[in-house]
Chains A and B, each alone.
Chain A
């Protein structure tokens, strides 16, 4: 829906289906990527929407989403944000081309303030608060595909919702790193629990097999000497002492291992806590810090491992031969040069 600037006439923009709308958004995303201008994706959820539905009925849920959508449209118009929005279910997704992250932050704050000022209410008159997640196309993970951009906005929204709602989160590298660390922590914790159980089981029966071997060895030593009651008693005492020492050593080893596991978990948790605090840092502060240190970490590649030719490529054999020829030519040239350099040097 659009209106002209003087407001004297109304014109109706063609209503597009969601598929058509997504197609348009995709085109815009690829244009932004090709021409390298910033583009932001904003994901909006109404806080406590399920409670609204429970309290006021399912129509209230739909009405709340519609009110949120209208609020977005109004604020975007009033403050000069040009973009496209799609509402589906309990989410609103909006894409704003040519919009830098700081400007997207302004829109996010405006929406939050409007929610807090009770400018939008549910059917029963309750103020509607929002959780907002945003992402921009200047990270490798969001620049490579539209899906990546939307997924990152969804993750940011998840962070906003998990943080208690009524907040705006822009997905940046810090969030990305936190997410990766959380996955690492969950995996590490799971592994440690399994290892801990194994170690405790082993320690519990004093090393099982090791204990039996030790007893065998001691008994073999005593088997070579004459058996008297004193010697049998001595054998019993030695076995008892050795088993007790073995148990103690195992217990110490397991405790040391547990301490190491706890230290690793603690380290991961502290890194998460530290990085989480970074989220609170404003874009301006981040920019200032980056400028002070003149750091540009670069842009990450979309590949985490070496790729190589795909086996299902239609011309795989021909390409393989070509790759081999290029390599041979380069190898011959580069190694010859190295050899010459060594000889001359």
Chain B
């Protein structure tokens, strides 16, 4: 006899399964198993995927209380993610990967290079802690970093990671995205982050320097462009970059039929409604030509026999890929300039990089990990 049904009256107890951890992972005994970690160190968000099922993402913000009073008030020595953002006025606030701080030409916005590097290191420690590694397990991590990250910044990342893991490797972000999806042959990856857009050509081998392009037409560029457009149309409106970023993240859309976007911004302290539909569409669309410029360069320098296949396998990843209608807009632009084009959006933009890094960690032979200990 079989029977089934649902019992569905009443309320359930809610609650989030994830809990904060405390304490370090320092230990000497390592016979409990092997934990793999995949980390995507992004300008805007840092994500981790682990082989214990933990997946966490936090915004890449770090804050240190400015003085004793702030420390007493906040009750912490370091704040991360949205909490740091929320209390940024009482903190020395860092966005350690802003505009690609990890790159050699970084720190144009601030001279506090050491501070940014320390913040990046603290951010890595925190994200690893949030993956809840057990003290009796071997922990092996692969961290996806921008392809052009400078050596001294890579060193800072490795140093920070080594405090929490047994062995660590770095790899380029767009490559990890492609690897995670098993798309290793004749694929063009567009990884739209906040600071940079990385384009990477995959052709069955490890991509070389000539296979990768990076430009700064990414999320931050869209934010600045949107701020300019709103300022131009509504000069009386008062807003900050953070407010513009929130508007973009909530309403980003590129299609001609996008619903009207009306937001409230203060004017002399009074909340006032503004229609920013056109501004959002224009700002989001502004990155498309630059993206297709990069695609055209990578396609044009590829084996002519496989160019067509490459054009039909463009993979859109990263937080920027969540802009509605972006895939269609790129396809249209590609058709106009390159004759044809097919763009695929990855299913999990936030975890695409970390899932790929986790897969690399899993596939890496044991002896390689041992040699890097």
Contact = CB atoms under 8 A, between A and B. Distances in A.
Contacts of A222: none
Contacts of B204: 318
Contacts of B22: 294, 296
A303 B371 contact: no
Contacts of B360: 323, 326
Given A65-B1, A299-B53, A306 B7 contact: no
A100 B15 contact: yes
A73 B5 contact: yes
Contacts, number: 212
A333 B154 contact: yes
A13 B5 CA distance: 8
B269 interface: no
B51 A294 contact: no
Contacts of A85: 4-7
B52 interface: yes
Contacts of B86: none
Nearest to B17: A36
A150 interface: no
Contacts of B138: 306
A302 B49 CA distance: 13
Contacts of A18: 2, 4
A82 B161 CA distance: 43
Nearest to A137: B17
B33 A323 contact: no
B77 to A, nearest CB: 17
B132 interface: yes
Contacts of A319: 179, 184, 363
A37 B23 contact: no
Interface string A85-116: 11111000010111110010000000000000
Interface in B219-267: none
B35 A37 contact: no
A47 B52 CA distance: 36
Which secondary structure dominates chain B's binding surface?
loop
A268 interface: no
Given A18-B2, A85-B4, A297-B134, A321 B10 contact: no
B73 interface: no
Which of B12, B19, B32 has most A Cβ within 10 Å?
B12
Contacts of A5: 9
A8 interface: no
A1 B6 CA distance: 6
A114 to B, nearest CB: 14
Contacts of B369: 306
A13 B151 CA distance: 62
A301 B169 contact: no
A187 B366 CA distance: 29
B75 interface: no
Contacts of B9: 2-3, 5, 76-77, 80, 82
A275 interface: no
B323 to A, nearest CB: 23
Interface in A287-345: 294-310, 315, 318-319, 321-323, 325-327, 330-331, 333-334, 337
Contact of A334 (B10, B15, B158): B158
Contacts of A321: 205-206
B184 A315 contact: yes
A158 interface: no
A52 B256 CA distance: 70
B29 interface: no
A98 B52 contact: no
A15 interface: yes
A83 interface: yes
B52 A301 contact: yes
A83 B13 CA distance: 12
Interface string A1-33: 111010000000101111001000000000011
Interface in B340-373: 360, 362-366, 368-369, 371-372
A296 B132 contact: yes
B284 interface: no
A21 B21 CA distance: 36
A330 B169 contact: yes
Contacts of A103: 13
A138 interface: yes
Interface string A228-261: 0000000000000000000000000000000000
Given A103-B13, A327-B169, A81 B7 contact: yes
Given A2-B8, A308-B365, A299 B54 contact: yes
Given A2-B8, A319-B184, A319-B363, A296 B155 contact: no
B187 to A, nearest CB: 12
A40 B308 CA distance: 51
B182 interface: yes
Contacts of B371: 327, 331
Interface in B46-79: 50-55
A111 to B, nearest CB: 12
Given A2-B6, A325-B206, 4 more contacts: A1-B5, A13-B5, A77-B10, A137-B17
13 contacts: A37-B15, A38-B13, A62-B1, A65-B1, A69-B3, A82-B7, A143-B53, A300-B32, A306-B34, A318-B185, A323-B360, A327-B169, A331-B371
Closest 10 CB pairs of A and B: A80-B10, A306-B366, A76-B7, A298-B134, A301-B35, A98-B12, A325-B206, A299-B52, A87-B3, A327-B368
